[in-house]
Amino acid sequence: MSITVTLPDADATRAYGRALAEVLRAGDLVVLTGDLGAGKTTLTQGIGAGLHVRGQVASPTFIIAREHPPLGDGPTLVHVDAYRLGSLDEVDALDLDASLDEAVTVVEWGEGWVESLAQDRLEVTLQRPRGGALDDDDLDDAAAGERVVTVRAVGARWADVALPDVDPVAG
């Protein structure tokens, strides 16, 4: 099962992340794929807001992984950036499987690295149709511009789950 949604800007991408958080629970793995500036961290910010977690959700590029505990009874958000990882041994060293059952784990640049962690997962691809990756003009206004988000549900966990399939801003 997969859903594709077109989102007009970063605010709508965050709103879609909040809608996606409504179907997430502890033990879920979300693998994000997309070019630089496609909206992976922006979507994760929305997921964090929807899960009501502590701390600012920002790209963990240099520290690789950040843990955001819940403000209430919900799951922890583990936010990983696999961009700088060079081997499966480095992925194993993160010990993501130790917290997988208690957290929602979101991995940016995770395609090809983390699928073995969970038989059930969401594979999310983000694209910016205006040339894909950010160009020099876009760097000044990274919040602007349409994103196309495709969410592919893998595994039995998602068989009866309705993924958000409309622009949450337009309703």
Examine residue 40 and state whether it is found in any structural domain, yes or no.
yes
3-state secondary structure of 13: helix
Residue 155 near residue 118 (C-beta atoms within 8 A): yes
What is the separation of C-alpha 118 from the centre of its chain, rounded to a whole number of angstroms?
A: 15
> Is the residue at 27 inside a domain?
yes
Q: How many domains does the chain have?
A: 1
For residue 139, the model assigns a pLDDT of: 45
Task: Please give the C-alpha separations between residue 134 and each of 15, 38, 77, 82, 114, in angstroms, as whole numbers.
Answer: 21, 8, 27, 19, 26
The C-alpha atoms of residue 140 and residue 131 are separated, in whole angstroms, by 16
Domain of residue 105: give its range. 2-158
Does residue 165 lie in a domain region? no
Higher per-residue confidence, 96 vs 18: 18
Contact 7, 129 (CB under 8 A): no
pLDDT digits (tens, 9 = 90+) for 27-82: 999 999 999 889 999 999 999 999 999 988 887 666 677 888 999 999 999 998 87
- 166 vs 5: CA distance, rounded Å: 6
Residue 111: which CATH number? 3.40.50.300
Domain-located, residue 67:
yes
φ/ψ of residue 13, rounded to 5: -65, -45
Q: Look at residue 167 and tell me if it is in a domain.
A: no
> Would you say residue 166 lies in a domain?
no
For the stretch 15-29, pLDDT in tens is 999 999 999 999 999
Is 171 part of a structural domain of the chain?
A: no
72 inside domain: yes
Cα separation of 101 and 29, whole Å? 9
pLDDT of residue 63: 66
122-136: average pLDDT: 74
